[in-house]
Every structure is written in structure tokens, then in C-alpha cells.
Amino acid sequence: MLSIAAISLSYSAPASVTRPSEVWDKATTEAHGIVWRGNATIKPLPHETLATEVLPDAFTWCNKDGVNYCTMSRNQHIPQYCGSCWAHGSVSALGDRIKIARGAKGIDINLAVQHILNCGDVGSCHGGSVDGPYQWIHALSKSGTGIAYETENPYLACSSESREGICSAGSWTCTAENVARTCSTFPPMGKCTGLKRYPNATISEYGSISGATAMMKEIYARGPITCGIDASPILKYTGGIATMDGESIDHVISVVGWGNDPVEGKYWIVRNSWGEYWGEMGYIRVKFGKLLVEDQCAWAVPATWTEFNVDGNYAEGASPNFPCYEDGSNC
């Protein structure tokens, strides 16, 4: 993303651009037991103690000392439209933090948004919250397992109430097959089955955050975060620094860093979940204080993740993969 930092164009929204909100209101959020305060247990937190003076003018995890710690860009809109930005933003930021913990070594770990849609009960294709995904993953982590990887539960843009596209042809409840699955061969000889043992990731804690300074400290110290944004003004965004004030939070994204433009000043480097065809290859730059990006954010700390190390020497947080048969019969 630093390669475009020299572009100082500002972006203003076209008139009369609106969209349905994909973020629950306060009453709906609280009715699902989701709270803003989070449950951070480690005190004090990095964003509470890190000196402001150590923060650089520009910083991004997508190019830190020449290393890219950012995971894949996603598209919540295929194979049909699904308002699951709230799950995409949190999963992307957590995937980045796992990559940071691994020192960017090995194949990227991409987590399953569909697992949250099927089992989280903290949102659907018709909306969710900034904090809900991490609260669910933390509760799941206490059970001895975590969120599945994308390869055993690919994103299909459906939730239990969805009827669009392919969604009416399937079931999206939290069955074993909708957590992690594989299919052995063509029916009637083969079948699809749920896996009891599967690669997954857990978190040790999570929390809520707001305000530019606290956000910068948290990002700099531990990695990308997920935040709400007013997306109505950026539906037709094609590049530059967005400078609109914003009216209400209706979308969720992940923030991977910030830059400093000679004209507009500091801006957030934001990864969206609308695919790489949109914006600046799926990213947007948002001027500090604009589009409500600084109002509602959340973070999570990786605890464990599954990987394979040929020499058997696993770093802290990494756990060895249990090898399943091709048909999953031993898992």
C-alpha cells in the first residue's frame, strides 16, 4: 500500500448514494449479549502505555520493513450478496495478527467467515456488530477448539435466513458439516461428512477501542484492528483519500495502518471486503476523523493456531496438525 502513498487526490462522494446498513443498532447488539467493553484481562493494555512519541508518521502491516503481514483480500458479495462485513473485517484482522505472530513464515492462515455465519449467533447476511465475532471466538476458544480454516469451510455468502442465490438449496445451521467438512467422492459411493478434528485458531482475549491515538498505538503494538465505517459515501470510490464526515456506521472494515499525505494529513489504510476490483485493489484511504472510522473498533489476541512444521519444532502459539485421511474417516 505504500506504493500509492504519493497520490494525494481526495475523494468526495457522489450525491444520493445510499445502502442498507449491515451493522446492528445498539438495542439489537445488546439483545444478542454483545457488549462494547470487551473482556480484556491483561492490564495495562499496549494502547494505554505506549508513548505517542514512538509512533511514526506512516506505518502499515502490509509493508513493515519490507515484509507483508497482511492476509488475503476478501469479497463478501459472491456467490451472492451477503451483508457479512462484520465477520469479514474481524476475520481479516485476526488473520493478520496470526501472520504477525508467525513472523510471516509459512503459508498464510485464512480463517472461515462461513463458520461464524453458521454457528456464531452474532450476526447474519443481514447484519452484525463490530464486537460480536471476537466475543464468539473467545467463547469458542474456551471449548478447546476455535474458528475453522477457510479450506474446510469455504465462504458461501449464506446464513440461516438467506434465500438469495444458492442459499435456499442448503442448510446453514451449526451442524458438524457446517463447522468443518470434506466430501469423499461422488454419490452414492461417497458422502460429505463433518470433521471432529480440523485446523483452527483461538484467541486469548479481545477488547473494544476508539479514538485515533489509541487505535494507532494498538495497531502499531499488536496488529490490525476491525472498525465500523459509514460506507454509503464510498460505494463509487475509485481512489484517493476519502474526506467525508459520515453520518452513521453501516459497515465494518479492518484497519492495517496509516499514512501521511502532504495535503490531507494523516489517513487510515483500510482493507474493505468488496473484492480487489473495488477501490485501490480492495483498499481505501480515509482521512483521520472522517467516515466515523474512529468511533467503534475491536481487537483480538491470537492464542493458538494449527500448522505443520516438518522438523517438529513449533513456536509458541502453534499447534501441530492432526492429519486426516482424504475422506475424513479418521477425523
Place of cell 497520490: 7
Instruction: Out of 110, 118, 178, 272, pick the active-site residue.
Output: 272
Per the annotation, the verdict on 82 as an active-site residue is no
Per the annotation, the verdict on 251 as an active-site residue is yes
Burial letters 159-184, b for 16+ CB under 10 A, else e: beebeeeebeeeebeeeebbbbbbee
Cell digits of residue 106 = 509459512
Q: How far apart are CA 46 and CA 221, in angstroms?
A: 6
Cell digits of residue 98 = 496470526
Instruction: Out of 85, 119, 158, 167, pick the active-site residue.
Output: 85
Per the annotation, the verdict on 47 as an active-site residue is no
Instruction: Out of 70, 200, 251, 297, pick the active-site residue.
Output: 251
Strands, E assignment, the chain = 10-11, 59-60, 123-124, 127-128, 147-148, 181-183, 192-194, 200-209, 225-229, 241-242, 251-261, 265-271, 283-287, 297-307, 318-320
Contact 247/234 with Cβ under 8 angstroms?
Answer: no
Among all residues, which ones are annotated catalytic?
85, 251, 272
